[in-house]
Amino acid sequence: QVQLVQSGGGSVQAGGSLRLSCAASRYAYSSACVAWFRQAPGNEREGVAYINAGGDTPYTDSVKGRFTISKDNGKNTVYLQMNNLRPDDTAMYYCAYSELGYCALSPQRGRFDSWGQGTQVTVSS
């Protein structure tokens, strides 16, 4: 099973930036995809973005123009660059890996083989 290790996150003021990293123990570049999800207390887990083998990068509407997902093939790592952060971005963020590319912004529709441990992002006003 692929192991995912997350890093980054922390606390920033509104308007600030953070970068999250998700390092995979291995990566099937011809088929795999990685998605970022977030979950705030009392809320359901929400898809933020994903990147697939073809380089497609869909985003949830609330982060379009502010967040960018990318991957470094040489490091088996996927990043989520978050700019112009808002208090409603505050949540625990998780990355998820799908070996066969079954990513979706809905956790229920995707088929994920591995999840990261989560990292907290807190944005203050």
pLDDT digits (tens, 9 = 90+) for 23-71: 999 999 899 999 999 999 999 999 999 999 999 999 999 999 999 999 9
Strands (E) across 29-102 are located at: 33-39, 46-51, 67-72, 77-82, 91-98
- pLDDT over 90 for what percent of the chain? 94
